[in-house]
Structure formats: structure tokens, C-alpha cells
Amino acid sequence: MASVAELKEKHAAATASVNSLRERLRQRRETLLDTDGEASLSSPLLVGDPLSWGSGNSRAFADCSVCVRLRGAVARYSKSQGRAPVSFNPTDLVCCRTLQGHSGKVYSLDWTPEKNWIVSASQDGRLIVWNALTSQKTHAIKLHCPWVMTCALAPNGQSVACGGLDSACSIFNLNSQADRDGNMPVSRILTGHKGYVSSCQYVPDQETRLITSSGDQTCVLWDVTTGQRISIFGGEFPSGHTADVQSVSINSSNTNMFVSGSCDTTVRLWDIRIASRAVRTYHGHEGDVNSVKFFPDGHRFGTGSDDGTCRLFDMRTGHQLQVYSREPDRNDNELPTVTSIAFSISGRLLFAGYSNGDCYVWDTLLAEVVLNLGNLQNSHDGRISCLGMSSDGSALCTGSWDKNLKIWAFSGTRKIV
């Protein structure tokens, strides 16, 4: 027993030293950030149209220099450059479709670039594939395990994947025939995770590849056709997440890179070709990271967390570019957590769904709230659990615990900012 006590002591000492080192690292990081604040912003931060809902060609951060260091510097710089914040009238973004049909909370949605289909997963144990144009259901799939947390549509729109508390990812081929009861057969079940499947996404240019994140602290790249794991990210390897992984996002411009957000408050960047270690770890959040999403240009990514903030990180330098934190309510002392985020196609707007039913539209540059979808007419009654952008950037889809999905479209009369 003496040895146990000794070990405990040693362990405590080691923990203390690790913590002090970590603290020093953080301080060091901050001083580094402080050194060359705005002076280093030599090149123009923004060129081109910051906001374009329709065209999708312009990129707000196209010319952003890598050396944006200081937290909030983006906002200060763009203000000094005479950047006006985006302003919206309450009628500029309107709910043009309500997709009703689920009988449980909607937990996840995905909007495919093909066909304008939306897939949504709900606690009633169903996946529904919607036609966004007609707002009709095209497929309704009853799931074997009703506790579904995530769903994704394949890039070609031929199949859907979903996962949840059954610790497996089920693939359904949308072309297969339903049986007499209208149930769709599972075309493949990807098993191997030891915890719930929290998120899944198809690799954009490869129909047969899928990345899942799980409560077993790992992410896995799957070959859908064979059902085999190609590589496992994290887990036994020391640089992996140390808590449940909540979300993944694949870089659209370089599909070998993806980020994962976890309950260990960090975000990690992975290279699909190198499973053994995380390329980079991003600290900053003070709560579970619930949602990660790559910025449209693929050089940055946004995060949403339980600490009530969204953040924007630079992928390559690892620096935090911006924090989007809301003012605490006067009467409500607990900050609502961020459940899901999405970027507009230009990146100028960041949509963030909160646990209290709000959905803020942030000006990505100036970190100001442009609009709250939760206050608009016809908004959701419950928590907004998931967000998705259409591929052309013309509409946003929100899924909520009030069992409905809504499609919001820009009303189109305004000129691009």
C-alpha cells in the first residue's frame, strides 16, 4: 500500500507540473499574439465582395494575410478600413418553407449539392429526405435504432448515412426498393466504434469515403463499399482527443484535411493520410466543442461550443482570429450553448444556433450580430439543433427540437453589400 501512496504522490506532482507547463504555454501563446498587433496587418485584409448570397464566387477572406494575430484584430482592422457591418432588415431573411413531418426532435440535417435534397434525422427514429424545392418528402426511412444523432447525404445523392447511440453508422441506398411496410433495407452497417456516433460526413469528392466521429474519442475514415475502417484517428495514439468527439468537418478545398471538435474543449486537425497523430490542436474554448465547420475558403474554420461562444481559427497558424460571444442576458445567468454553426457561401456571415432557440447571424468580420432568426416571424419554437446551407448559398435550413425544419431564404431585393 505504501507504493500506492507513493505513486499517488508522484502522479499529483506530475499533474501539477503538466498544468503549470500548460499555463506557461498559454501565456506564451498570448504574448506572441500580442507582440505585433495591427502593425503586422500589412496587406489588405479583404478584397472583393464580402457578402454574396447568390454568386458564391467571391470570397471574403480571399486575400487575408496569414498574420492576423490579435484576437479581435480582424474586427479592428476592418473597421479602420471603413468596413461597415452587414445590416439586415428583419424581412431580408424570411422563412420560405416549413418542412413538417417529423414527430420527434430533429437532431441533424444535411443538404446535398445534388438535387437540392435535404436529409434530416429525428428522434422519432426516422430519416426523411426532403425535396427542398417542393418541400415534399421523397424518402422516409424508419431506423432500426431510433436514437439517431447524425445523418449525411452522399455527394452524388444516391445514399444516406446515419449514426447514433447504436454505435454504428448505417448506410441506406436511396435507390433500393422499400419493402411492403415501406421500410428501406440497410445497405451497409459500419461497425467498429465503441461509443455513439456523433457525426458523419462524406468526403466531398469520394462517394465511397465517409468520416465519422464518435463518443469513443476517435474519428474513423471508412470505405463504404467494403465496410472496412481505413484509418482511425485518435484513440490509442497519444495526440488524439481525450473526450467524446462531437463533430467533424472536412476541408472542401483539400479533402485530405479535416477537423474534429471534442468535449475535451479542443479542436484537432487531421490529415487523412497520417492517422497516427493530429496535425495540430487548437485550444481556446472553455467548454465542449459541439460544432466545427470549415470556412468556405478552406483556410479557416469556425467552432461552436458549450461556453456559449463561436470562434474562428486559422487552420495553418493555429491562431484564434475571432470570438463571437453574446452578451449575457439580464435575467438569465446561464449562457445558452452553441449547438450548430454554418457559414454563408462567402463566409461573411456565420449562422449559429443556440440551445435557447436563438439563431444568430454574425458578421464574421466585425463579430457583430446582424440578425436573430429566433426573433423573426415564423421562427422555431424549440432549440435549433442543426443548420445547413444550400450549396449555391441561396438558402439556409434550420432543424429544431420543435420537430420542424425551416428553409430561410434571402429575399433578394437588396444589392450585395
User: Which stretches of the chain bind other proteins, using CB under 8 A?
Assistant: 4, 7-8, 11, 91, 94-101, 103, 107, 123-124, 130-140, 145, 147, 149, 165-168, 182, 191-196, 215, 236, 244, 246, 263, 288, 290, 306, 378, 381, 402, 404, 409, 411-413
Phi/psi of residue 30, nearest 5 degrees? -70, -40
Contacts of 373-376 with C-beta under 8 Å, sequence gap 24+, read: 373/93, 373/398, 373/408, 375/90, 376/90, 376/93, 376/94, 376/95
Give the span between the Cα atoms of 351 and 324, in whole angstroms. Answer: 11
Nearest distance in Å: CB 120, other proteins: 11
For other proteins, which is the closer residue by CB, 166 or 297? 166
Give the span between the Cα atoms of 363 and 322, in whole angstroms. Answer: 11
For other proteins, which is the closer residue by CB, 85 or 382? 382
Look up residue 349 and give its three cell numbers.
456571415
For other proteins, which is the closer residue by CB, 294 or 401? 401
Nearest distance in Å: CB 242, other proteins: 9
Nearest distance in Å: CB 105, other proteins: 8
Q: Which residues contact 395 (CB under 8 A, 6 or more apart)?
A: 96, 132, 389, 407, 408, 409, 410
Q: Which residues contact 416 (CB under 8 A, 6 or more apart)?
A: 49, 51, 52, 53, 54, 55
For other proteins, which is the closer residue by CB, 48 or 412? 412
For other proteins, which is the closer residue by CB, 40 or 131? 131
Nearest distance in Å: CB 93, other proteins: 10
For other proteins, which is the closer residue by CB, 124 or 223? 124
Give the span between the Cα atoms of 179 and 190, in whole angstroms. Answer: 22
Type and span of the H or E element at 19 = helix 2-35
Nearest distance in Å: CB 34, other proteins: 32
Nearest distance in Å: CB 204, other proteins: 24
For other proteins, which is the closer residue by CB, 122 or 364? 122
Cα distance between the two ends of the chain: 71
* 74 neighbors 347 (Cβ within 8 angstroms): no
Strand-by-strand arrangement of the 405-410 sheet: 93-99, 405-410, 395-400, 384-389
For other proteins, which is the closer residue by CB, 288 or 297? 288
Nearest distance in Å: CB 98, other proteins: 5
Strands (E), 10-125: 93-99, 106-111, 117-122
Type and span of the H or E element at 34 = helix 2-35
Nearest distance in Å: CB 128, other proteins: 9
